[in-house]
Structure 1
Amino acid sequence: MPRRKAAIAVGGVAALGAAALLLPHANASQDESRASGATGAVKTLKADDASDLAARLQKILGDAFAGSYYDSGRQQLVVNVVNGDGNVIVQAKKAGAVVRQVENSTAELEAAARTLKTEATIPGTSWAVDPRTDKIVVTADSTVTGAKWNRLQSTVQDLGPGMASLKKSAGAFKTFVSGGDAIFSQTQGGNVRCSLGFNVTASDGSPAFLTAGHCGVAAEQWSDSATGEPIATVDQATFPGEGDFALVKYDDPATQAPSEVDAGNGRTVQITQAAEATVGEAVFRMGSTTGLHDGRVTGLDATVNFQSETDPDGVDTVTGLIQTDVCAEPGDSGGSLFTQDGSALGLTSGGSGDCTSGGQTFFQPVTTALQATGATLGDGGAGAGDQAGAGDEAGAGDEAGAGDQAGAEGQAGAGDEPGAGGEAGAGEQAGAGDGTGAGDEAGGEQIGGGADPAGEHSGAGAAQDGHSSPTRTH
């Protein structure tokens, strides 16, 4: 009896314009040349190497280290120092970093973040340190008004001048349940749709995948089609709290689970490692609703206060997230955040905005999820072979994504589900929403009108037709 193919190829069907941006450079290497200067040799680095250098310099600088970021234009690591003696600064410069003096220390910024947690844990708010400005950036969404806004504004002001900045977001922070390729579950409250992030091998050697924790909390069993039988069961899930991740094991231990992201049109990006994100790094996100979009990392160790889905007066606080300017929409939760050279970075958690007007999205770091669950990245040697995502099948299993079919079992795009739009295929727009270089067009045509609040965006993966029961997208 042949082994069942993995029903979900990692990621979703990509918008072709963004895929064109990604794939020609997927295996490109950047020179690690040196530019000599009077104060030391500044290295030209790719983002992964910059992250490794930042970790080393943090140990060397100790309390003088005040964050770092990647200058993608110059391909250099910039390290902030405060009250550092000349010796450690010289060491940092010799290591190849650009060193700059700043006012706020890491300890001061962390203390300010603790104050925000105590005084301003308000649904619809987030904060993260921005090493480029040496401040905490506090964001309030459109729901934070009146007394809540006054309280937040007062707390930020009390932190002192130069410590934090406050800005408003046009959208509302929400989890994006409904992403890579679509996964589905039927619950008493209706159908739930999420996205697969990365295939992994569980600690017991069984095939599994990572997705968002709020998806794992919402439902226990998951299918690769809206009305299909379950193919995977949640093993562990964390949400809210210190993360937003779930480990879901395939029910069939012979499932082939390729370590790759489906980039559409039969093209894939091999995922070779898990890596830490770096502020300023260029990244790509895959989701079953909106396909492939790109942007940059804007903050690390972010705290997000989502409005609780179970308590109207409650708040679901998640810490330790990656903050980006990449767009996402309902249905993208759990989808993969990765780099062009195949490094797995994160799992889509939530955010605000959409892929027409732009927005910001937060991601669960993959490294933290792997450590917590004991899983390892990859397919345990199953290989890609004839698995979904290569050849005529895109998506996986019996569903169609970028291949010659328009869905599985009559399913198309995001279907008529609330929040997911009424689209299918690759959509007509492939850009990152905010014009970060993903291109203007994507192959495929929009199917169905729907009530898509985001307008025309790139659809992906298999999706659902209308259902008699309500559908909750994440």
Structure 2
Amino acid sequence: MSHKRNPKRKAVIAAGGVAALGAAALLLPNAMASQDGASDAAAPKTLKAADATNLATQLQNLLGDSFAGSYYDSDSKQLVVNVVNVSGDKNNVVVQAEKAGAKVRQVENSTAELSAAAQTLKTKATIPGTAWAVDPRTNKILVTADTTVTGAKWNRLESTVQGLGSGMATIKKSAGTFKTFVSGGDAIFGGGARCSLGFNVTASDGSPAFLTAGHCGVAAEQWSDAQNGQPIATVDQAVFPGDGDFSLVKYDDATTQAPSDVNIGGGQTVQILQAAEATVGAQVFRMGSTTGLHDGQVLGLDATVNYPEGTVTGLIQTDVCAEPGDSGGSLFTRDGGAVGLTSGGSGDCTAGGETFFQPVTTALTATGATLGAADAGAGAGDQAGAGAGAGAGDQAGAGGGDAVGGTADPSGAADPSADPSATADPSGAADQNAADQNAADQNAAGQNAAGQYAGQTSKHHKKH
């Protein structure tokens, strides 16, 4: 299965693509209602990526130590589950997994063995410019080295991988250099740095806040929605490097409305319904203040990246492009699932490259924040502070913004006909954005690089 994509291509989400994420909760019990009889044997089910993610979580619990990872086959739209230590006659849990709708395949490397190999890499090959993540499609660890890993560094990395044993890991060379995607310019500003807002959230004390990259949070304490503008938000928590790359930034005005939406351009938004776990093989979309909307696939989970500033663990590896200024921007699914925050990687949106993301689920757990506004019923028609908007008004931030609606009710988003303004149909907007993207990047300071938002009415940070 090929995962090559045109890095210049803007992301396109099919019209009417919004659907409730909870549908998969019923898949496993229904599929396992009958456990015996050949007539009950089921072929792998055709699933949406979000449903496959939920099913994979249930099967991981069911299979226990036999579970060796899973991935979503986007061509066949099936969930593939790896198993180890299965006897000649399929044991009962494997039969149950197949009846639940998954495609089950037997592999050599267990989850424990892959984890031990990753620990060996951490101990012996923590070299700036390297990264590794488990790839369930190959049942191996994918090790990536950027252009700075040469000579003795390369020899050390290669010998460590070889020492793991045959069939345990592979090495890939990157054409670029691993770096965090922070830059001077527009979008949200702090201490001379520019980043993108990921997702609006509610802090544990009930105050409005947003998530962005941790390396943005350690770069500056206060953030503004305009270059050289007055601060509008203050960093509450930041982690980087170490066990993640995320920050919780609280709006200074406690009455700021922060609905749970992502502006994808063309006057359209995707309502964020819930946090979602990443699934290898699934399509994901990234929004950032420099390059706008792009899509790609998840390549690996629990990735370790050795940036020049230090090692970061627990990230998501993808082939979605990104550039400086996109740091902290939102990674999400067409179904409205918040997946990640842009951390860093190599390459750009001309040549492509590898990009790593902080899982939203981990960031929410660590900060105690929840997705959505504290007053979920308020703010319909208002916009949250953090838009990636261009050129007009009191626009704030990037990536998660121009959020319309403010309601976290999935019932409205699940029915595209109910409220088109609250559903994801960026197919036209994405194509429209492609033509003017490069020109927008060169506009005067303070204008958003993603020029697709020009002309939209700005209501950011509107008060109750």
For 2:163, the aligned partner's letter is: D
Deviation string, structure 1 residues 249-294 (Cα, Å, up to 9, x no partner):
0000000111100011211111111110100110000000000000
Q: How does 1:66-215 map to 2 (within 5 A)?
A: 66-85=68-87, 86-87=90-91, 88-178=93-183, 182-186=187-191, 191-215=192-216
Do residues 227 (structure 1) and 222 (structure 2) align?
no
Q: Which residue of 2 aligns with 1:435?
A: none
For 1:234, the aligned partner's letter is: V
Offset of 1:325 from its aligned partner? 0.5
Contact kept? 1:26, 1:269, Cα under 8 Å = no
Q: Which residue of 2 aligns with 1:302?
A: 303
Alpha-carbon distance in structure 2 between the residues aligned to 1:37 and 1:197:
48
Return the TM-score normalized by structure 2. 0.78
Return the TM-score normalized by structure 1. 0.77
Moved over 4 A (4+): 28-34, 36-39, 407-411, 438-441, 448-451, 457-462
User: Which SS does the other structure have where 2:278 is aligned?
Assistant: coil
Gaps of 5+ in 1: 1-14, 309-315, 414-437, 452-456, 463-474
Contact kept? 1:289, 1:461, Cα under 8 Å = no
Deviation string, structure 1 residues 280-328 (Cα, Å, up to 9, x no partner):
11000000000000000010000000012xxxxxxx1111101100000
Gaps of 5+ in 2: 1-6, 32-37, 399-429, 444-448, 455-464
Q: How does 1:45-444 map to 2 (within 5 A)?
A: 45-85=47-87, 86-87=90-91, 88-178=93-183, 182-186=187-191, 191-308=192-309, 316-380=310-374, 381=376, 383-388=378-383, 396=387, 400-401=389-390, 406=391, 442-444=434-436
* 1:120–1:218 Cα change, 3 Å: same
Deviation string, structure 1 residues 353-377 (Cα, Å, up to 9, x no partner):
1000111110000011001111000
Report which of the two has the higher share of helix: 2
Provide the alpha-carbon RMSD of the alignment: 3.1
Alpha-carbon distance in structure 2 between the residues aligned to 1:383 and 1:369:
25
Q: How many percent of aligned residue pairs carry the same amino acid?
A: 68
Alpha-carbon distance in structure 1 between the residues aligned to 2:394 and 2:63:
58
User: Which SS does the other structure have where 1:70 is aligned?
Assistant: strand
Alpha-carbon distance in structure 2 between the residues aligned to 1:243 and 1:324:
16
Q: Which residue of 1 aligns with 2:46?
A: 44
User: Which SS does the other structure have where 1:40 is aligned?
Assistant: coil
Offset of 1:440 from its aligned partner? 9.0
Offset of 1:443 from its aligned partner? 4.8
Deviation string, structure 1 residues 417-449 (Cα, Å, up to 9, x no partner):
xxxxxxxxxxxxxxxxxxxxx759625364489
Alpha-carbon distance in structure 1 between the residues aligned to 2:441 and 2:337:
36
* 1:363–1:400 Cα change, 3 Å: closer
For 2:105, the aligned partner's letter is: R
Contact kept? 1:16, 1:264, Cα under 8 Å = no
Contact kept? 1:395, 1:461, Cα under 8 Å = no
Contact kept? 1:104, 1:134, Cα under 8 Å = yes
Aligned pair count reads 394
Report which of the two has the higher share of strand: 1
For 1:95, the aligned partner's letter is: A
User: Which SS does the other structure have where 1:348 is aligned?
Assistant: strand
Alpha-carbon distance in structure 1 between the residues aligned to 2:39 and 2:134:
30
User: Which SS does the other structure have where 2:301 is aligned?
Assistant: strand
For 2:165, the aligned partner's letter is: G
Alpha-carbon distance in structure 2 between the residues aligned to 1:160 and 1:400:
51
Alpha-carbon distance in structure 1 between the residues aligned to 2:305 and 2:439:
34
Offset of 1:41 from its aligned partner? 3.6
Contact kept? 2:201, 2:373, Cα under 8 Å = yes
For 2:15, the aligned partner's letter is: P
Alpha-carbon distance in structure 2 between the residues aligned to 1:234 and 1:446:
31
For 2:255, the aligned partner's letter is: A
* 1:356–1:41 Cα change, 3 Å: same
For 1:265, the aligned partner's letter is: G
